[in-house]
């Protein structure tokens, strides 16, 4: 939708004009999966699509939430903004953010009429939830003059997801949505939150996202299971070598201590994390040196580890990645996001893109009965005011 269409939709919903419009993007992670909550490196970039928030103050002492993507509407008095809504209500994502402002001592003197619209494909693993959290945090930070920096806004979004959506996510999604920069990826240390913006220079190559249309469900419990399994590995390793996060271990370190992990599932999870942290460091170095072929190889290795050791890919993501690996002109392909459905991300030479879309799409449908969608990724800016 255009901004004009959105403003018209707002007026139809609330019988008045929006005073402010904000935007935050979704993200795609090029490499470094399930490392963020383990204190490791990730390498996401913000996308050109995301979530818009239109709002205006009201005199009702209520917060009103509407979405053009979802029918359910919510109206809450200012006295009930720190309570989780039942039945996994979509409004828990912005509500959880507002609750974080209140918990930090920020006073709300009046309500707002809020309307969301997002063009991140739902359930695609491209962080539609983080985009909604960050756009809410950015908007209230601007309007209330709280002065939080973008890193703090990312933390607020993460905390909202923990407490109101029940997903013990890492910081990557919210951080990428807040800190993204056009034509750059974010090399983020999830332990220290130190980051570098790395230019993405892919001459004759595009980042292509393929959507399985098998929606992922991070709140299904499988994601939180992985968090607990990694915590078990940390606990057992700490008996011989005290650590806070798995990412503190090099691959050589891990070989020395891995035998103390008595749970075989926790052992595989830890092996993935340690290897993925190294792959991410190697991939960023390869990109900076212009070695895109190596970057692509590391992406493929990442998917294999996510499939075999972390077990978060599933038949749909595997079908897309394995079909991509057969195409001349594909440098690498892997799942992106939390997994359990969602999307793959591939590096594809320009001349191979039509063949890639045709053959990967055909093989995917033959294997799964589903139809994939393909997007040429455009790397955009992080959260900002539209007007």
Which residue in 36, 173, 309, 318 is the catalytic one?
173
Structure-block tokens of residue 174: 């919210």
Residues 6+ apart with CB under 8 A from 12: none
SS3 per residue for 274-289: HHHHHHHHHHHHHHHC
Based on the residue annotation, tell me whether 191 is a catalytic residue of this protein.
no
3-state helix, strand, coil in the chain (%, to 5): 45, 20, 35
CA distances to 35, 274, 330, 377 from 345, rounded to whole Å, are: 17, 21, 11, 9
Annotated active-site positions, please? 173
């Amino acid at each position: 939708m255009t901004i004009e269409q959105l403003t018209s939709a707002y007026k139809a919903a609330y019988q008045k004009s929006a005073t402010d419009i904000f935007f935050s993007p979704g993200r795609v992670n090029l490499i470094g999966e399930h490392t963020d909550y383990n204190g490791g490196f990730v390498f996401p970039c913000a996308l050109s699509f995301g979530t818009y928030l239109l709002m205006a103050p009201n005199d009702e002492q209520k917060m009103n939430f509407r979405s053009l993507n979802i029918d359910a509407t919510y109206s809450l008095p200012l006295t009930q903004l720190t309570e989780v809504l039942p039945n996994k209500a979509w409004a828990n994502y912005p509500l959880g953010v507002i609750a974080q402002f209140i918990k930090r001592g920020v006073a709300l003197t009046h309500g707002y009429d809020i309307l969301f619209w997002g063009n991140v494909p739902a359930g695609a693993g491209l962080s539609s939830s983080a985009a909604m959290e960050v756009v809410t945090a950015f908007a209230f930070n601007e309007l209330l003059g709280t002065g939080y920096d973008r890193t703090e806004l990312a933390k607020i979004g993460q905390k909202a997801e923990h407490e109101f959506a029940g997903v013990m996510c890492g910081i990557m999604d919210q951080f990428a949505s807040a800190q993204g920069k056009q034509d750059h990826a974010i090399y983020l240390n999830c332990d220290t939150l130190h980051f570098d913006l790395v230019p993405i220079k892919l001459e004759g190559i595009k980042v292509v996202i393929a959507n399985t249309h098998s929606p992922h469900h991070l709140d299904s419990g499988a994601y939180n299971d992985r968090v607990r399994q990694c915590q078990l590995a940390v606990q057992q390793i700490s008996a011989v070598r005290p650590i806070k996060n798995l990412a503190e271990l090099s691959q050589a370190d891990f070989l020395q201590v891995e035998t103390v992990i008595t749970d075989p599932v926790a052992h595989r999870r830890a092996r993935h994390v340690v290897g993925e942290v190294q792959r991410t460091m190697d991939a960023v170095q390869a990109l900076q040196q212009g070695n895109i072929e190596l970057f692509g190889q590391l992406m493929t290795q990442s998917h294999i580890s996510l499939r075999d050791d972390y077990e978060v890919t599933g038949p749909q993501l595997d079908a897309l990645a394995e079909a991509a690996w057969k195409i001349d002109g594909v440098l690498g392909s892997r799942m992106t996001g939390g997994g359990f459905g969602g999307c793959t991300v591939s590096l594809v030479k320009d001349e191979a893109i039509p063949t890639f879309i045709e053959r990967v799409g055909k093989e995917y449908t033959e294997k799964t009965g589903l139809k994939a969608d393909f997007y040429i990724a455009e790397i955009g800016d992080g959260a900002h005011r539209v007007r």
